Amino acid sequence: MALLLSLTAGCWKPSQAEVPVCLQDVVGQQPSDIQASTPNTLSLPFRAENLPLLQESWIAYRQRFIQEDGRVIDREDGDRSTSEGQAYAMLRAVLINDPGTFVKTLNWAEQNLIRKGESDRLDQLWAWKWGRNSTGQWTTIDANFASDADIDAATALIFAARRWSCPEYLELAKVKLTDIWNYSTAELADDRVLLPGPAEAFWSQPDTLILNPSYFAPYAFRLFAQVDPEHDWMSLVDSSYQLLEASSDVSAVGLPSDWISLNPQTAELSPVSDSNLQSQYGFDAYRVWWRVALDAAWFQEPQAEQFLRQHLAYLERFWQDGQQIPARFDMQGRAIADYEATAQYATLYPAFALTEPQIAEQIYQQKLVPQYRQGFWDNSSAYYTQNLAWFGLLPPVSPSAQLMQASSS
């Protein structure tokens, strides 16, 4: 199969971070002076009976994990910061109507996660890892980008432009979309696919392209198609579902994998051989349920519900047999962890809410409610769990027309 990699230059490369601030209550303020929203002003773009819980947990997360300057801290991993963490905070902030926190987290990322060349900024994507290096300096640790974070950030910017009537955010989103398309996607024969990061890192051999199924975000690609007609984002919707199906079928029990290897020349999928990456159902793969469930809830996509029904079947049987699901499985469906994970249950909850509501309610009452205490799930250092639990507990419905319709941008 012939392949063509599109890695052309973006159209706008500022020499330094340019962060639009067009919200009336924060214009002219330094990021450290911008005030976060109060409980009285926190609201969702849809009706939610659990709004008080989502408000309380967001405030607790904001106080524990987000510095005054907008840096999101992963307290489980050396107090590092990641593009993922900044993007999650932005997406949560716009959904809960917290423009102050949105501005600060965006500003910190744009100031500190820049991917630099010899003399200028390379693109509008973010370096994925920032923290303390071997000499004790706080700086960029890995300048590679992670496409899921850039996708989540662009989604948040589109929503922010619409929710807060801020067209400057939409312009920044469009610039990022150009670089996501140019640097984070590849054309394989007639199919365009999402890369997890730079081609040189994940496609170093002609016959081996490493993919992360949990990065596929069909709902986001639909939003991108609304605002960026210059690129065929709907082709990524199609390839995402094709690869989600095919990669899950590599598992003997139909589970998605953290990482998978694609041979672009034969279209064959197989477990990865890189010792640093694992082909197993684990903490990365959990997000497949969440992202596909969003496509079903936000865009009523039948293919999304079909995927969930088919590929949740093994975990559904596990749950019915013992009311618990191990945190990790190998490609043969054997449990390789003797513990459970609240993060997994958090992503299974919205998925089962669409396919088996009774199981979703059981998971909520037995696995999510008992793990929530004083604003946190599990413990106050569990960064990843806080985010997946919060996203997972959003009502499985489409946000307001203001956020979802292109005419509102």
Catalogue the active-site residues: 84, 148
Q: How far is CA 204 from the centre of its chain?
A: 25
Strand ordering across the sheet containing 260-263: 209-211, 260-263, 268-270
| Percent helix, strand and coil across the chain, each to the nearest 5 | 45, 15, 40
CA 245 – CA 264 distance, rounded (Å): 17
Block residue for tokens 């510095």: 67
- Residue identified by tokens 């949740």 is 312
Give dist(CA 62, CA 85) in Å, integer.
12
Distance of CA 230 to the CA centre of its chain: 23
Which residue do the tokens 């969440």 mark?
290
Tell me the three state secondary structure of residue 57: helix
Q: Which pair of structure tokens corresponds to residue 402?
A: 């203001």
Helices (H), 326-381: 342-355, 357-363
Q: What would the two tokens of residue 393 be?
A: 């507990």
